[in-house]
Amino acid sequence: MSNAPSNSSSKNPKVLLVKLSSLGDVLHNLPLVWDLRARLPNAQIDWVVEEGYVHLLEPLITREGFRGIDRIIPFGLRRWKKHLFKLSTWREFFAFRKSLQQTTYDVLIETQGLLKSALVCAIAKKMPDAVVAGLANATEFSGYEPLARSFYNQSVQVPKKCHAVDRSRWVMCSALDWPLLERNDPPRFYPPSFIQRIPNSKVSGLHQPYVLCFHSTARAAKRWSEANWVALGKEFAALGYQVVLPWGSPAEQLVSQSIGAQIPNAFVPSAFSIEEAFSVIAGASLTVGVDTGLTHLAAVLGKPTVEIYCDSPRWKTEGYWSNRICNLGDMQNSPGVNEVLNASIKLLNQA
C-alpha cells in the first residue's frame, strides 16, 4: 500500500472510478463515492460508466448542498462494437477520449478486472506518480482477465470469496493506503433525500398495493421455476396485492405473460427504462426477485426485498446492509415457495 499519492494533491486528489457495467455491478460500486467523500470531502470524483447505466449515477451528481460525483463520463463501447467500421463510431470514441483527458488524475480505481476497463485507465491522463489500482486476482464466479493487471501499478489481492461491495472497497482502500473498511461500516448507496423524493410511477396499469416479481435473468440456471412464481403469485393475489411481472426482452415478456395468465389480476407492464425502474420499485409494497440487477436496485434503495438465489453464490451479492432485505437460497439450492412466502409476509408486516 505504499504507492498512495504523496504530493500536495493527496488531500484533494482527482479520483477516477472505472466501473463500466453491468447494472448490479455499478450499484455495488456506489459505496465508494460515500467512502471517498467521508475522508476526502474536497476530492474531485469522476466515474466512467457504460452509457446505458448513466441514470444509475445521476442521483449522486454533486449539486447544491450535496457532494457526490463531480463528473459522469459515458462510455459507448457496447454500441460502438456493433458499428466498428463506421466513421461516426470513431468520432464518438475520440470525443470520449477528449472528455476523459480533460482532467489529470491522481488516483484511478478500477474494480472490474476486465481489459476494457483497464484500457480506460490507460487512456486517461495521469500525474507522473498517479496510483492506478485494480484487481490482482479473480473472485469466484466473477469475470476476470489477467492481462488487465499490466495496466495497473498497484494490483490488489482480494479474497476469492468476496462480496461485490467489499471487493470494490478493498481496491479503494489499498489505492489510498487506508485501513480496510469492514461490514461494521455499512455501505451507503443513494442519498436519503433522493429516495424520499422518487416520484410516483407513470407506468400505466399499476394499482396499489402491488408486489414486483423479477423472474428474469440472463442465465437460465439462475431462474426460479415458472411453477414457483405462479404459486407465489396466487398467494399474493389472495392477500389483495397486484402481482406485477416486468420483463426485459421479447422472450422474457412471453414468460411474464405465461405466469400472469395463471394469477388473478396479475399485470405485465410495457417495457420500462432504468430511470423509470426507480419509481416502479419505490412504489411497490415488496420486491421479490432472482439474482439480477433490478432486484439489487430494490435492495440498495432500502425497499422490502426478497432476493432468491438458485444457481449463484449468495455471498457474492446478497443485501447485508438492511433488515428489510431477506436473502434466500444459494448455489444449486433454490428456496421453496413456502420459504419465500413466509419471508415476504414478514417483510410486508414490517411496513
Q: What is the pLDDT of residue 244?
A: 98
208 and 174 in a common domain:
no
**Do 184 and 207 fall into the same domain?**
no
Buried residues in 140-152 as b, exposed as e (16+ CB within 10 A) = eebeeeeebbebb
Tens digits of residue pLDDT in 32-69: 999 999 999 999 999 999 999 999 999 999 998 899 99
Q: Mention every residue, 6+ apart, whose C-beta is less than 8 A from residue 251.
A: none
Across 148-175, average pLDDT = 96
Give the confidence band of 2 by pLDDT, cuts at 50, 70, 90. very low
Does the pLDDT value for residue 184 go beyond 90?
Answer: no
Whether 222 and 334 share a structural domain: yes
Is the pLDDT assigned to residue 293 strictly greater than 80? yes
Q: How far apart are CA 92 and CA 34, in angstroms?
A: 31
* pLDDT, average across residues 4-9: 46
**Helices of type H across 111-176:** 115-123, 164-175
Residues contacting 254, CB < 8 A, separation 6+ = none
Residue 45 lies in a domain: yes
Does 270 map to a domain?
yes
- 14 occurs within a structural domain: yes
Could you list the residue range(s) of the whole structural domain that residue 72 is in?
Answer: 8-195
Percent of the chain residues topping a pLDDT of 70: 97
SS3 state of residue 329: strand
Indicate if 151 and 12 belong to the same structural domain: yes
pLDDT category of residue 219 using cuts at 50, 70 and 90:
confident
What pairing do the DSSP bridges indicate for beta strands 14-18 and 44-50? parallel
Asked whether residue 117 falls in the same domain as residue 13, the answer is yes
CA-to-CA distance for 249 and 241, rounded, in angstroms? 25
At 249 the pLDDT is: 93
Residues 233 and 189 in one domain: no
166 and 57 housed in the same domain: yes
Q: Are residues 104 and 171 in the same domain?
A: yes
Contacts of 45 (CB under 8 A, 6+ apart): 15, 17, 33, 36, 37, 68, 69, 70
Q: Tell me, yes or no, whether 1 lies in a domain.
A: no
Residues with Cβ within 8 Å of residue 16, at least 6 apart in sequence: 46, 47, 48, 103, 105, 107, 108, 109, 121, 124
Does residue 37 fall inside a structural domain? Answer: yes
Q: Is the pLDDT of residue 267 over 60?
A: yes
> Residue 3: inside a domain, yes or no?
no
3-state secondary structure of 133: strand
* Mean pLDDT (the chain, rounded): 94
3 pLDDT exceeds 70? no
At 182 the pLDDT is 76
Domain limit, last residue, from 150, 179, 195: 195
Q: Does one domain contain both 188 and 205?
A: no
Identify the helix (H) or strand (E) that includes residue 255. Answer: helix 250-260
Read off the pLDDT of residues 228-258 as tens digits, 9 standing for 90 and up. 999 999 999 999 999 999 999 999 999 999 9
Q: What is the CATH number of the domain that holds 322?
A: 3.40.50.2000
Please tell me whether residues 69 and 190 are part of one structural domain.
yes
The model's confidence at residue 174, banded by pLDDT at 50, 70 and 90, is: very high
pLDDT above 90 (res 185): no
Residue 112 in domain: yes
Q: Residue range 176-197: average pLDDT?
A: 91
Which residue, 145, 165, 195, sits at the end of a domain? Answer: 195
Contact predicate 319/245, CB 8 Å: no
pLDDT score of 4: 52
Strands 104-110 and 125-135: parallel
Q: Does one domain contain both 98 and 204? A: no
**Higher pLDDT among residues 122 and 351, named by residue:** 122
**pLDDT 10s digits, 96-136:** 999 999 999 999 999 999 999 999 999 999 999 999 999 99
Task: Work out whether the CA dihedral 300, 189, 21, 180 comes out positive or negative.
Answer: negative
- Cite the DSSP H helix spans in 53-163: 54-57, 77-82, 87-100, 115-123
Q: Report the pLDDT value the prediction gives residue 118, as an integer from 0 to 100.
A: 97
Would you state the cell numbers that stand for residue 192, as one nine-digit string? 436519503
The yes-or-no verdict on residue 7 having pLDDT over 60 is no
Same domain, 66 and 183: yes
Q: Into how many domains does the chain fold?
A: 2
User: Which three cell numbers mark 90?
Assistant: 470513431
Last residue of a domain, one of 177, 195, 213: 195
